[in-house]
Amino acid sequence: MLTETIEQQLEKENMSLSEFQELLIRLLNYSILCRSESQIEQQLYDRYLRISSLVNEYLQMIDVRVFHEPRFEYIRLYPPSSQVPGMEEATQTAFSGSLRSRLSQQEVALILVLRLQYDKALREAQVDDQGYATESFEAISIAMKNIIGRTLPEKPGERRQLFNRCKKLRLIEYRNEDDVLKSESWLKIHPMIVSFVNDEALQALESPAEQSAARENPDLLEAISSSNDEAE
């Protein structure tokens, strides 16, 4: 019955059920669609625009929320009980699954620093027309040490893994894998970072007192991570 209703709606847009399924599977598996990322994501993003109401209604049945940023052309899914930018506070519901991803303390630290550096670039009008902020890996390393009291991993493999994690979350872009090992190389911080890190987590590191607490008490990062689990 539900399938027939969906097919009727899809027929109005000259779209097949398999195309609808492909879009949903991609969203649920990755929870992110960024039009500029690849040709495949461009096609899926444009497909979403054609049937956004149907996709949103379908996902709403399982309490998965869709955050769409048309200016920067990306979509992110949020699992139940997550705080979604621009939406009312979510109700508390039990949930565990592929949408929710537990971040390590090191990942939380880096992501918070990326958000702070992005906000700084915004204040200084240092973002490009697509909303990206450009920072050197050296600047990120210095900010990590000054704000969080942590250093980036010394081992090349661990450092690559840390930055690759953020890249998979579409929070940053850089050209080559080995760029993360070169202080003079540059990365671009995606405007998606603003919707990924909620204001409560950011406020935990905005004052000198809180920065000092984060340096002296690593468990603060664990608390931030626990209260700010995000969609992958």
Instruction: Read off the tokens for 197.
Output: 């890190």
Whether the CB-CB separation of 143 and 116 falls below 8 Å is answered with yes
Residues 7 and 93 in one domain: yes
Instruction: Report the SS3 class of residue 33.
Output: strand
Residues 109 and 89 in one domain: no
The pLDDT, as a whole number, for residue 206 is 59
Instruction: From 34, 67, 100, give the residue that closes a domain.
Output: 100
Residues 213 and 113 in one domain: yes
Q: What band does 123 get if pLDDT is binned at 50, 70 and 90?
A: very high
What is the distance between the terminal CA atoms of the chain, rounded to a whole angstrom?
A: 32
How many domains in the chain?
2
Domain of residue 189: give its range: 105-231
Judged against a pLDDT cut of 60, whether residue 211 lies above it is answered with no
Residues 109 and 77 in one domain: no
Residues 127 and 91 in one domain: no
CB atoms near residue 146 (< 10 Å): 11
Instruction: From 52, 72, 100, give the residue that closes a domain.
Output: 100
Residues 147 and 224 in one domain: yes
Judged against a pLDDT cut of 70, whether residue 210 lies above it is answered with no
Residues 207 and 128 in one domain: yes
Residues 14 and 54 in one domain: yes
Q: How far is CA 95 from CA 40, 99, 150, 181, in A?
A: 30, 10, 32, 37
pTM, rounded to two decimals: 0.70
The pLDDT, as a whole number, for residue 108 is 86
Residues 67 and 112 in one domain: no
Residues 21 and 122 in one domain: no
Strand blocks (E) in the chain: 32-34, 65-69, 74-78, 100-101, 133-136, 172-173, 186-189, 230-231
Average of per-residue pLDDT across 151-157: 93
The pLDDT, as a whole number, for residue 35 is 93
CB atoms near residue 50 (< 10 Å): 16
Q: Which residue has the higher pLDDT, 93 or 215?
A: 215
Residues 109 and 197 in one domain: yes
